Structure 1
Amino acid sequence: MATIVVALLIGGYAYSNHHATAKEYQAAMANGRTAIQSKHYTQAESYFQNALKRRLNDQTAQHYLTQTQRYVSGENALEARHFSSAQKYYGEVKDTSNASTVLVKRAKDRYKQVKEIRTNVKQFKQILNKAQGENKALNYGQSNTTLDELFNNAKFRQSYYKDLYDQALALRKSNNAGQTSETSSAASSSSSTDSSSSAASSSSASLTSAEKQAASNYSGSNEYTVTQSQKELDGKTITDGQISSARQTINAAGGQADAMSDQDVRVALQQANKKGLSLTKYTQQYLK
């Protein structure tokens, strides 16, 4: 009789404990689904993990947990603009069976969204590359016109395209600087031309009629005309290649070859040869 009573007590306890565990499992799963509905994914993961503790190796709880974790990974990848990874995670979530239908629907929407984002990224990159090429070709105005295709697109200002947006802003700044430089150079050149013309006119105007006639009738050699012999070294014409090489040597020796005319360079070569010096030595002694 006592044995029967003990058995009944043990059986009753086991049943009661199993029933309590089952209720805890159901509560954890229900709370997890509610957390998903509210987009509290971290809480949902905790609830599903708790459900697995109440019912070890339960496939349903495991499916919910894995699905939730993958969805969170997709969200993190999207925020970090890792679109390929995000699309992969969302694809896995939407294809999960025996789990949250809410996450399946959300993942389908996200998958479609990321697919569109990746298409836009490809198109935006093509336009940006075109604008960069125009910038390199010094076509600053055309480059800015191409960039307008991006800036006039409302989607381009979304956070998903921030990296490209920042590059486009930097390129537009570069284009604007290039255009400003061109304008300044053109104005400077125009001013220089006007000054030269004015000086020439003034000089001409200061001559008497007799001086003008004499200048017109003059048929001799101009004092700045370079004769053939002045272009030679040891009887051979100094080539453009020799002049270019000499400029490099003069600069390297501390001279100012960029401020010298080609004839100045020829004279330097001739004088160095005449004095028996290398061009480097001649530059250091006479041209610095």
Structure 2
Amino acid sequence: MSARPEEIILAEPRGFCAGVDRAIDIVEHALAKFGAPIYVRHEIVHNTYVVNDLKAKGAIFIEDLAEVPPGATLVFSAHGVSKAVQAEAEQRGFRIFDATCPLVTKVHVEVAKLAREGYEFIMIGHKGHPEVEGTMGQLDRGIHLVEDVADVARVQPEQTEKLAVVTQTTLSVDDAAEISAAVQARFPLIRAPKQQDICYATQNRQDAVKMLSREVDVVIVVGSPTSSNSNRLAELARKLGVDSYMVDSPAELRAEWLAGKKRVGLTAGASAPEVLVQDVVDRIRALGAVSIRKMDGIVETTKFPLPKGLRIGQQ
């Protein structure tokens, strides 16, 4: 086998999803319309390059609303926020734009609707992830987090007649299915979402990595360490028996990862911009790869509209 990489195969689809596009657009439109600074609660999306780019344009990222001056413009990140954070922001009188991904908002709406009907919830997700905190924070009580099959055996809802399951949108599709099956086995009457909560972009990128892994000797995932969906892509390739590494920038790519690997697969998490993918392509080419091809894959056409009042010229 060649000591240097020969071919780069690009996964399709990869990179930005509609929710990420919309979230970044919201911050950029707010900066254009109201001027810097624009305050953003939490990283708008989990990507270092994107966050640094928006910082350079005048966005200030905060975790505590006390850091935002009265009357300022505040954007909620794509991951969504709890009812308590929403109420505090309104009480402090900020001009608020909500960049929560509409697919996360769909989960929030479902939780609120079923809670009014007396349901409790089992939520499948990662503790401490801002999306999970936002979804669980839609209710004061009655929503129980499970991170794995072992948690399912331990969870103790107050009643089981009215129980529903919801899922973080960026999980491993296969892991979520396994945990869902365990939930269903323990609570046979549990209500599942009409459509699965894992978003189309997470599903599509994982399906693409499954196809990619059959054709390559190593998979490189462009994404930040905090990005749930990027981590899942690297994990998935490893589960399929292919070496996989995640890089936040081309500088992190190490030549020894590619030594003896003829075909290099390249993908990107839903919050990683294409400019970084192309920079990583250039770095792999500098290490010897001469050809590049794109896999066939789903072409995503989903677009989400901006909130009212953000288009230039609108009041």
TM-score clears 0.5: no
Give the greater-gyration-radius structure (CA).
Answer: 1
Higher relative contact order (CA 8 A, sep 6+): 2
Is the strand fraction higher in 1 or 2?
2
Q: Which TM-score band applies after superposition, normalised by the shorter structure? A: under 0.3
Using structure 1 for the length normalisation, give the TM-score. 0.19
Using structure 2 for the length normalisation, give the TM-score. 0.18
